[in-house]
């Protein structure tokens, strides 16, 4: 009798158990958001206009500034024959309305603009947590602000060296600062200005989460900014002025002092951090219950 050998039983093939849709990585979402932002024609136009600010200011300082000794805003007059001050003067001028406009416009497009085109609902039902969605939108807005501030600073330095002249900084205190220290001060002012604009954009982002109309975000945020600036100029409102975000924006002039006082810069940074936390918290609270 022939013995029959038992065939080995094949091992069971493991079956993959689906645990739900896989979430996309944060970097992939951020890259997609950044491509979407930088393709918008209004974003490109805004960045081009921001690039023209230091160039126009440099030409104006060179052509007109020398004929107006001692007249005009202090930061602009400090840039006459002092080219490395030009980026600081350009940042000061841009923070009055142009940089807030870019920050608010980006925040309006991030949520209200998506809602108006019907694409926000697709993002809300996608396998992406609301926290990650808000973080990616905020990071996209912050990137636009950083690009705008960087363009002003870099083109301001180039314009100052080529058109105005000078590679040293004569401080408000009358001392001459070498090129290395001048670059450090410009970098400090640029980072500080970008953080101030991010705080304003966080408030605009909270407004953007409440509406489907980007123009409402622009009107509410920029209109509120104008009202706040008016309140800050009223002598009888001294008790309110320490809590107003734009009230600390004049501290950028302290960068040109030697030695540099830190009180105004630190206080305005702490105030901006509070606005940033409040704005992002309100945005997340709204987005956590938003359906479309």
- Mean pLDDT, to the nearest integer, of 91-100? 91
Instruction: Band the pLDDT of 141: cuts 50, 70, 90.
Output: very high
- Between 131 and 11, the more confident residue is 131
The Cα 285–Cα 277 span in angstroms is 12
Closest CA to 276 of 129, 74, 85, 138: 138
Closest CA to 63 of 50, 49, 86, 81: 81
274 pLDDT higher than 60 = yes
Closest CA to 174 of 78, 239, 86: 78
pLDDT tens for residues 29-62?
888 888 888 888 989 999 999 999 999 988 887 7
Instruction: Band the pLDDT of 111: cuts 50, 70, 90.
Output: confident
How many C-beta atoms surround the C-beta of residue 242 within 10 A? 11
- Mean pLDDT, to the nearest integer, of 278-291? 85
pLDDT tens for residues 147-178?
999 999 999 889 888 887 766 677 777 777 87
Q: What is the pTM of this model?
A: 0.84
- For all residues of the chain together, what is the average pLDDT? 81
The Cα 204–Cα 218 span in angstroms is 8
Cis omega before residue 19 (within 30°)? no
Which sequence spans correspond to the domains of the chain?
26-245+259-290
Beta bridge partners of residue 170, listed in sequence order: 176
């Amino acid at each position: 009798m022939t013995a029959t050998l038992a065939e080995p039983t094949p091992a069971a093939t493991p079956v993959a158990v689906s645990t739900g849709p896989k979430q996309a990585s944060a970097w992939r979402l951020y890259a997609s958001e950044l491509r979407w932002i930088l393709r918008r024609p209004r974003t490109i136009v805004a960045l081009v206009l921001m690039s023209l600010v230091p160039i126009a200011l440099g030409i104006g300082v060179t052509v007109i500034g020398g004929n107006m000794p001692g007249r005009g805003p202090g930061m602009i007059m400090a840039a006459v024959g002092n080219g490395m001050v030009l980026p600081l003067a350009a940042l000061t001028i841009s923070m009055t309305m142009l940089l807030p406009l870019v920050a608010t416009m980006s925040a309006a497009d991030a949520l209200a603009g998506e809602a108006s085109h019907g694409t926000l609902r697709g993002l809300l039902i996608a396998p992406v947590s609301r926290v990650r969605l808000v973080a990616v939108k905020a990071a996209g807005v912050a990137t636009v602000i950083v690009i705008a501030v960087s363009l002003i600073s870099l083109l301001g330095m180039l314009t100052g060296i080529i058109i105005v002249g000078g590679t040293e900084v004569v401080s408000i205190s009358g001392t001459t600062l070498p090129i290395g220290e001048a670059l450090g001060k410009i970098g400090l002012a640029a980072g500080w200005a970008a953080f101030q604009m991010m705080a304003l954009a966080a408030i605009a982002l909270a407004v953007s989460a409440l509406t489907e109309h980007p123009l409402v975000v622009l009107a509410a945020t920029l209109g509120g900014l104008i009202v706040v600036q008016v309140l800050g100029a009223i002598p009888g409102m001294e008790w309110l002025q320490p809590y107003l975000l734009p009230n600390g924006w004049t501290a950028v002039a302290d960068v040109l002092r030697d030695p540099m006082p830190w009180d105004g810069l630190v206080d305005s940074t702490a105030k901006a951090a509070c606005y940033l936390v409040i704005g992002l918290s309100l945005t997340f609270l709204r987005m956590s219950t938003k359906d479309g």
